[in-house]
Amino acid sequence: MFRYIVRRVLVSIPVLFGITIIVFLLINLTPGDPVDALIDPSEPHSPETLQALRENLGLNQPMPVRYVIWLRELAHGNMGYSFQTWRPVSGMVWQAMKNTLLLTGLSLVLAVAIGVVLGIVSALRRYSGLDYGLTVAAFSAISIPNFFIGLLAIYFFAVKLRWAPAGGITTTGVDRTMVTDVLRHLALPTLVLTFRNVAEFLRYTRSSMLDVLSMDYITVARAKGLRERAVTSRHAFRNALLPVLTLIGLRLPFLFSGSVIIEVVFTWPGMGLLAVESISKRDYPAIMGVTLVMALVVLLANLITDVSYAVADPRIRYE
């Protein structure tokens, strides 16, 4: 067991370096000078000023040197300063991450609750009209682009019915700590994100439940005269839930990077909006910070998932 975990962690180390190299190369191969994005183009700038600015930012160093400096600073938790706001990137990413997690976490909890219930209903009434309807609905939820659902939600619920605001996280002028105000702003993006996740949990719970219902121990439970309700709730449901827990593990990356376009549609100040805005402003340190954090979180989630599989299933350890 211990040896498996050590081996699994060791395998992650080259992947970790691979991730940092990919992020670094990606950003540094970008044509266009970040200095251009900093200066006011309407004012004249002498080449000397521009050169001084470049040196100030460390952009004159050769690429491998910059990579090592960047890596060293990263190890100290320093992701540099945004070219746009001059605030530390770590702080910006942290703030954005909290906003994103609020949105995606709420949506995931709702999706699991609704999806599992609908999935069980669907499995218990297999081949009924309801089952068929839920199947088609689930496929639709997976197929309709979520930004289109987002636009429809804004059109109907924000513009026509005026039930909820169309974007942002707070009403301008209202104190940030007003919980009800933030909740009102959360309503529409959460609704849209939940839609697709419900579909995935529904389909997964349904097939898991059907697998369990075909097991011998369910037949035994029925044969010994248990009421159908007891069979489904006590014997089938609990066992069907295990694979659903696995799916929750697989969806962990969604918490950090699953809402990119929806954040843009609803101007929700999270990681996705930060990423898209940084890219359009060529804010290299911010782009690197967001992308890196998103990738590292996935790496960590995969590691945790694999280790927990090994804890649950001894066969994996000896592969």
Partner 1 sequence: MQMGMQNLPDSPGRRETAGPAPALSETQPRKLGGRNRGRAWRRFLRHRLAVTGLIVIILLVLMAVLAPVLSPLNPNAIDLRAPLAAPSAQHLLGTDAVGRDLLSRLIFGGRVSLSVGFVAVGLYLVIGTVLGVLAGFYGGAVDMVIMRVTDAVMCFPSLIVIIVIVSILGPGIVNIMLGIGLLRWPEICRLVRGQVLSLRDRDFVTAARAVGAPETRIAFRHVLPNTLSPILVAATFGVANAILTEAGLSFLGLGVQPPTASWGGILNAAQQLSALADRPWMWIPAGVLLSVTVLAINFAGDGLRDALDPHMVLEGG
Binding-site member from 2, 10, 29, 48 for partner 1 (CB under 8 A): 29
The reply to whether 147 sits near partner 1 by the rule CB under 8 A is yes
Rounded distance between C-alpha atoms, residue 294 and residue 300, angstroms: 10
- CB atoms under 10 Å from CB of 269, counted, come to 19
Answer whether 189's CB lies under 8 Å from 150's CB: yes
Which is closer to partner 1, CB of 11 or CB of 220? 11
Per the DSSP assignment, residues forming a β-bridge with 206 are none
Rounded distance between C-alpha atoms, residue 137 and residue 198, angstroms: 10
Which is closer to partner 1, CB of 14 or CB of 64? 14
Binding-site member from 14, 64, 77, 129 for partner 1 (CB under 8 A): 14
Q: What binding mask, one character per residue, do residues 178-217 give for partner 1 by CB under 8 A, x or -?
A: ---------------------xx-xxx-xx--x-------
Q: How far is CA 314 from the centre of its chain?
A: 30
Rounded distance between C-alpha atoms, residue 271 and residue 281, angstroms: 15
CB of 134 to partner 1, least distance (A): 11
Binding-site member from 94, 139, 163, 217 for partner 1 (CB under 8 A): 139
CB of 220 to partner 1, least distance (A): 22
CB of 86 to partner 1, least distance (A): 22
Binding-site member from 88, 91, 168, 253 for partner 1 (CB under 8 A): 253
CB of 44 to partner 1, least distance (A): 28
Mark the segment that binds partner 1 (CB under 8 A) among 19-27, 72-80, 170-178, 222-230. 19-27
- CA Rg value for the chain: 25
Binding-site member from 188, 212, 275, 286 for partner 1 (CB under 8 A): 275
Window 31 to 70, contacts with partner 1 (CB under 8 A): 31
Per the DSSP assignment, residues forming a β-bridge with 88 are 81
Mark the segment that binds partner 1 (CB under 8 A) among 54-62, 148-156, 179-187, 229-237. 148-156
Rounded distance between C-alpha atoms, residue 65 and residue 299, angstroms: 26
The reply to whether 287 sits near partner 1 by the rule CB under 8 A is yes
The reply to whether 248 sits near partner 1 by the rule CB under 8 A is no
Binding-site member from 52, 215, 242, 250 for partner 1 (CB under 8 A): 250
The reply to whether 254 sits near partner 1 by the rule CB under 8 A is yes
Binding-site member from 92, 96, 134, 295 for partner 1 (CB under 8 A): 295
CB of 203 to partner 1, least distance (A): 3
Rounded distance between C-alpha atoms, residue 23 and residue 303, angstroms: 20
Which residues contact partner 1 by CB under 8 A? 11, 14-15, 18-19, 22, 26-27, 29-31, 126-127, 135-136, 138-140, 142-145, 147-148, 151-152, 154-155, 159, 166, 199-200, 202-204, 206-207, 210, 243, 246-247, 250, 253-254, 256-258, 260-261, 264, 272, 275-276, 279-280, 287, 290-291, 294-296, 298-299, 302, 305-306, 309, 313, 316, 319
